[in-house]
Copies of this chain bind each other. A is one copy, B any other.
Amino acid sequence: MVEYTGFKDILVALDAAVLVVTFNRTKERNVFTLPFAQELEKVFKLADEDDRVRVVVVTADPKGPAYCAGADMSAGWGGFSDPNSPYATSEPGTRVAKAINDCRKITIAAVNGHSAGAGFSALQLPFDFRFAWAGGKIVIPFVRRAIAPESLSSYFLPRLVGLAKAKAIFLTGGALTPDSPLLDGLYYQSFAERAEVFPASLAFAKELAANTSQTAVALTKDLLGHPLDTIDETMEKESRILIYLSQQKDATEAAKSFIQRRPAKMEDKLSGIKTSWYPWWKTGSKL
């Protein structure tokens, strides 16, 4: 049994099949520190392993000053600017972003406050869905603070919104809101009131948790999050996945329930996927 213990900077609660992660340094505007990043990386790895979890929702106190205000610039760059540290080739933001991307459960960022820097790059872009407060300021100031895109945002942003918008966002370093044309399509839904964001996200999460197959979700996310290079490779992988999934209990139940016009009860577990070609992606840089 996976246990969520030892967390201080985040609160973790399992609500049916939805894991709710709430930032716990509200007064400090949930700034992105090393311990905070380490806890976030850990909780997404646990959520990935925990068969009880189908959806992860991340959020903040809607009455606090911010969702996440980015790195704490008053503290300088802390321990992770040492080229000999374990973070030299994987700064904390990239590790969090990678853990979120690699988590094979549906992930939702309930962005119910202002965000800046890593509060956008690490804590919004790698998620499957972003729900937002329409009044939230989003500041992505890298070039104005003499740094470059981090937390894998140079990878995700062009893929999420296209290169034209990604270039404009990064090179202006300005302040946006969820309805800015540059962010078109990035937010699944936005709300007038901060307090509305999390409940709507949770209801959406529960509906998906109840009516999707955990294994089908995982393999769908894997195809999108670890894409193959070519059409022919995609063809092979999609075909193996289709054959594999169609022989599992969930597929039988889904077909049966569809014909019987009743909700499906899909119970296959992610940990139960056993096949020679899974996972297909390699980890580690070849550079």
Q: Which residues of A contact B (CB under 8 A)?
A: 73-74, 76-77, 80-83, 87-91, 94-95, 98, 101, 106, 128-129, 142-152, 154-156, 158-168, 170-173, 181-182, 184-186, 188, 208, 211-213, 215-217, 219-221, 223-224, 227-243, 245-248, 250-251, 253-255, 258-259, 264, 266, 268, 277, 280, 282-287
Total identical chains: 3
| C-alpha spacing A77/B58, complex, angstroms | 37
CB distance from A153 to the nearest CB of B (A): 8
- Can you list 20 A-B pairs, Cβ within 8 angstroms, ordered by A? A77-B246, A83-B243, A90-B236, A98-B231, A144-B212, A146-B215, A146-B264, A147-B245, A147-B246, A148-B223, A152-B231, A152-B235, A158-B159, A160-B162, A160-B163, A161-B164, A171-B217, A182-B185, A184-B184, A232-B283
**A248 and B146 contacting across the interface, CB-CB below 8 Å:** yes
Contact of A162 among B143, B185, B242 (CB under 8 A): B185
Contact of A217 among B143, B243, B247, B277 (CB under 8 A): B143
